[in-house]
Structure 1
């Protein structure tokens, strides 16, 4: 995948800010240890892992953004391509130019859903059958947008997609069909003034009855409650100052505590419910522009995209030690 041309402009600014403002680890809070890279990928072939969904066996389904592929990677690092999104003639994806596959979500039965951004009518949400196969487009999203993070709410039968350019969270029936602009607002918009990258709403997770969204240009994480009727409640800002944030993943035993992938800083930060944070993984651990995070039990998964370093896209695993805090 080519480097992200507009986002590259913020790299120097992010590094100049140095380490995030942090708070010391409190007794009994989660710690991360034993980071190790289990799989290395081919940057020249577009194997730039951008987003992640986990399988019941502990393997990871990754989107290879530049290769337009979805791959399964075991905990031992064995990689198998599950699907390739169709090639698009003359892609014109906002901010990027190239056609890229970004967010991914997994259904209970193993069906995968991915966001495909092309700048053409192929932009939208695509479905992949359990075990892999030929992707099928189930929803068209605006070609002048950039669908990025993706999450599935099987109870309500809907998918949510964060649009980084249009500052929108789209809501789409899981069976496919017309998208609805579920929530919009300035808090989701990309920045307008340099060194803004042009990436607003980015990562997206469902957590405790709400849709959580990161905004890369704002360095923020937002919480949007899902109302009883399925509509969006008021946008709440839950963390700020997360320079270069891409996606994030919640810890299972600590309410509203998450690990944030800080792509431009080559860091993963532990972010507490009060917004304070501590850097827990760095480039010295093997990170190379981390793009997302997933957590299951005591295992942390971090795909590194290498979008800027252009070296060693990989999948890193680490141990998280958690104690219940309620």
Structure 2
């Protein structure tokens, strides 16, 4: 699929979110700004499909990212250099039946301490859609099949490093899969996860005995308690009014969050009481931000340029006052 076709498709997908976002309450721009030293650290190749979708950080500060339209996983060094780690196989039909989007894409990414990288891949085909494992020196391997009519998106690792939680943005489901692979289990199908027209459950993180999930269409941040026996509790809405919310990261200050709002082209700071403030916007270099990661005071933000079609990039910043 051409980059022009991808842009047209993504524009249609994000239009509703952008429209909703225009009516959502806006935080004061950069009010009490907690970020300093904001700069675009790396520019990616749009023509090669390098639209960065999700990120996980390695111990040395290297960022492992997925390139949605390129079907790739890449490593971005602290100095900004990019190296392709793996390319997932293309579907025989070109991915035209991938739900909503119509092209194959790599989405969520997570890493275990032994260096194994896990990646989600959506193709609209039963032979490729699912959870993939990348081990050093080995070819990518699919270790769990997921429904071809779904769109696996967010990926989170539990506190013990044994279970992966997967959000499906089309089916409104959270799946669980052991890190060893196997048959997925539908962990939650709560109505709060469902889309309202385009994409529902999106970003995912495990924190404080719960799985936290965003819903892009509904503009919500949810907390789903993890009960004994790894049962899902009832979702609790912790923040709302943020249509277009994608992935996010905790700052380390309680349950404070930095979240990427894709269509609105902003990053917001969500406080534990659910109030939010814009801390980054297009003037800082954002181009449809998709995900956020933190290590200590270092903040990483990916922008995919899905609809701006100008400059997919990795933005770096420092979190003020973080110890």
TM-score, length basis structure 1: 0.92
Q: Tell me the alpha carbon deviations over residues 214-258 of structure 1, each in whole angstroms, 9 at most, x when there is no partner.
A: 000000010011112111111111000112111111112x11100
**Residue 202 of structure 1: aligned partner:** 202
Distance across 1 between alignment mates of 2:118 and 2:154: 11
Among 75, 79, 86, the residue aligned to 1:76: 79
**1:159-198 alignment runs, 5 A limit:** 159-191=164-196, 196=197, 198=198
**Residue 237 of structure 1: aligned partner:** 237
Distance across 2 between alignment mates of 1:23 and 1:284: 11
Q: Is the Cα–Cα contact under 8 Å of residues 170 and 199 in structure 2 kept in the other structure?
A: yes
**Residue 147 of structure 2: aligned partner:** 142
Distance across 1 between alignment mates of 2:18 and 2:231: 39
Q: Per-residue deviation at 1:119?
A: 0.5
Distance across 2 between alignment mates of 1:323 and 1:85: 38
Distance across 1 between alignment mates of 2:233 and 2:23: 34
Q: Does the residue aligned with 1:62 lie in a helix, a strand or coil?
A: strand
**1:65-144 alignment runs, 5 A limit:** 65-90=68-93, 91=95, 92-121=97-126, 122-130=128-136, 133-144=138-149
Q: Does the residue aligned with 2:16 lie in a helix, a strand or coil?
A: helix
Structure 2 residue 296 is matched with structure 1 residue 290: no
Distance across 1 between alignment mates of 2:68 and 2:223: 26
Q: Per-residue deviation at 1:208?
A: 1.4
Structure 2 residue 82 is matched with structure 1 residue 59: no
Any stretches of 5+ residues in structure 2 without a counterpart?
none
Q: Does the residue aligned with 2:19 lie in a helix, a strand or coil?
A: helix
Structure 2 residue 163 is matched with structure 1 residue 158: yes
Distance across 1 between alignment mates of 2:295 and 2:161: 23
Q: Per-residue deviation at 1:43?
A: 0.8
**1:315-326 alignment runs, 5 A limit:** 315-322=314-321
Give the ranges of 4+ consecutive aligned residues of structure 1 lying more than 4 Å apart after TM superposition. Answer: 22-26
Any stretches of 5+ residues in structure 1 without a counterpart?
none
Q: Is the Cα–Cα contact under 8 Å of residues 50 and 64 in structure 1 kept in the other structure?
A: yes
Q: Is the Cα–Cα contact under 8 Å of residues 124 and 141 in structure 1 kept in the other structure?
A: yes
Structure 2 residue 282 is matched with structure 1 residue 269: no
Q: Tell me the alpha carbon deviations over residues 71-101 of structure 1, each in whole angstroms, 9 at most, x when there is no partner.
A: 0001211111101111111121100111100
Q: Is the Cα–Cα contact under 8 Å of residues 23 and 277 in structure 1 kept in the other structure?
A: no
**Residue 249 of structure 1: aligned partner:** 249
Q: Per-residue deviation at 1:21?
A: 3.9
Structure 2 residue 11 is matched with structure 1 residue 8: no
Aligned residues between the structures: 314
Distance across 2 between alignment mates of 1:156 and 1:295: 19
Distance across 1 between alignment mates of 2:134 and 2:53: 17
Distance across 2 between alignment mates of 1:8 and 1:227: 34
Q: Tell me the alpha carbon deviations over residues 29-87 of structure 1, each in whole angstroms, 9 at most, x when there is no partner.
A: x8111111111011111000000000000110000000000000012111111011111
Q: Per-residue deviation at 1:272?
A: 0.2
Q: Does the residue aligned with 1:293 lie in a helix, a strand or coil?
A: strand
Q: Structure 1 residues 156 and 16, CA, compared in 2 at 3 Å: closer, same or farther? A: closer
Q: Per-residue deviation at 1:157?
A: 1.3
Distance across 1 between alignment mates of 2:173 and 2:129: 15
Q: CA RMSD in A?
A: 1.8
Q: Is the Cα–Cα contact under 8 Å of residues 155 and 167 in structure 2 kept in the other structure?
A: yes
**Residue 20 of structure 1: aligned partner:** 26
**Residue 307 of structure 1: aligned partner:** 306
